[in-house]
Structure 1
Amino acid sequence: MTQPGSGEWDGLVLSSRRVADYKPYTFVDGEGVRCSLYVAGCPFTCPGCYNEAAQSFRYGTPYSQELEDRILTDLAKPYVAGLSLLGGEPMLATPILLPLAQRVSAEFAGEKTIWIWSGYTYEQIMADTEDKIALLDLCDVLVDGPFIQRLYHHDLAFRGSANQRIIDLAASRARGTAVPWHSSGPDREDSVPFLAPAPPPS
């Protein structure tokens, strides 16, 4: 597994503006019915990654205005809770995801939530480049940290390994530190373990 230093990976340079997949009306990528966009490209290369093909920045198809319009149309359905951004590594796809998140926020005015998954921890993002911080500022929930195979457990909601945290971003912005998210819905865990970010295996 590769871990970057602050600012070492620049999405404005690395992004190929490609997406691995788009799945509307899913139930697994966050709370409620969601539209999930999977971007291409991830240099974390976590062993056991469930979406290994999407690690390549050349995988998938080019992002397009037609796809963006379709996402907004799908999100407008009253039963859709929001947008989920996965990868690949979303924090390295800011050239497409930042304008998309800005449009979702403007057109739905808080009615739809934005969830984002990242191999970066919350603390790493907040100490990194402005585009990453700007994207995080438009999101409601962050699932953070690299996938660590030895910490995998099949019962974890919305995440693959126990080091990964589900973070309430509005509460975190208010407190100035990462705050755990807790679901009020039927698909919640009895508790969301909130661990300190685990170091990558040596």
Structure 2
Amino acid sequence: MRPMYIADYKRFDVINGRGLRHSIFTSGCTHHCKGCFNAATWNFNYGKPYTGELEEQIIGDLNMPEVNIAGLSILGGEPFQNVEGLLGLATRVRRECRGKDIWIWSGYTFEEIVADASRRELLTYCDVLIDGKFILERRNLKLKWRGSDNQRVIDVRESLWTKQAVLMP
């Protein structure tokens, strides 16, 4: 198993998902989308190694009693190219952080993710998926939570149940 690296961890993020959140940016991506806002994260060794201490901090931050944190956002890089590293975190968030949701961004489409067993397993812990590669020619700065109009904001639970991508209202 290749160690997972983290480009950044942002506490109290209001941009990457609904509500006040914490966001983790994984390193490593082979999509290499033209115009990517985070191209430094293409390198799988960018940033710092993901550690148990960081995981404990994330779980603690999500459970802060004095602040209403909506959940965790997982971005990249490409999170679904770091499945082994993220499965433990996602499992713990589900088990230990009641009422917190998980949003995840990917250059893969929902259909590509569910066709791969390990990627699908990580997806089952998530509530919202923003899918599809960023396409510079389709960039739209007016969109919420996504950069180009080919990308979709998907309700994961409903989509897995119906076996087709169901967009968030």
Name the TM-score class by shorter chain. Answer: over 0.9
CA–CA separation in structure 1 for the residues paired with 2:114 and 2:16: 23
Tell me what 2:84 maps to: 95
2:126 matched residue in structure 1:
139
Matches within 5 A, 1:1-202: 15-77=2-64, 78-109=67-98, 111-128=99-116, 130-182=117-169
Residue by residue over 1:155-195, the C-alpha shift from the partner in whole angstroms, topping out at 9 and shown as x without a partner, is 0000000000000011112211100012xxxxxxxxxxxxx
- Name the amino acid aligned to 2:60: T
Residue 80 of structure 1 aligns to a residue whose secondary structure is: coil
Structure number with greater Rg is: 1
Measure, in 2, the Cα distance between the counterparts of 1:50 and 1:145.
Answer: 15
- Report how many residues are paired: 167
Tell me, in whole angstroms, the C-alpha distance in 1 between the residues paired with 2:12 and 2:106: 21
Over the residues paired in the alignment, what is the CA RMSD in angstroms?
A: 1.0
In structure 2, C-alpha distance between the alignment counterparts of 1:99 and 1:160, rounded to whole Å? 28
Deviations 1:66-119 (A, max 9, x none): 10000011101241000000000000111221100000001124x000000000
Q: Which structure 1 residue ranges, 5 or more long, are not aligned?
A: 1-11, 183-202
Runs of 4+ in 1 over 6 A off after TM superposition: none
Aligned residue type for 2:71: G
Q: Report the TM-score, using the length of structure 2 for normalisation.
A: 0.96
Tell me the TM-score normalized by structure 1.
Answer: 0.80
Structure 1 Cα separation of the partners of residues 51 and 120 of structure 2 = 24
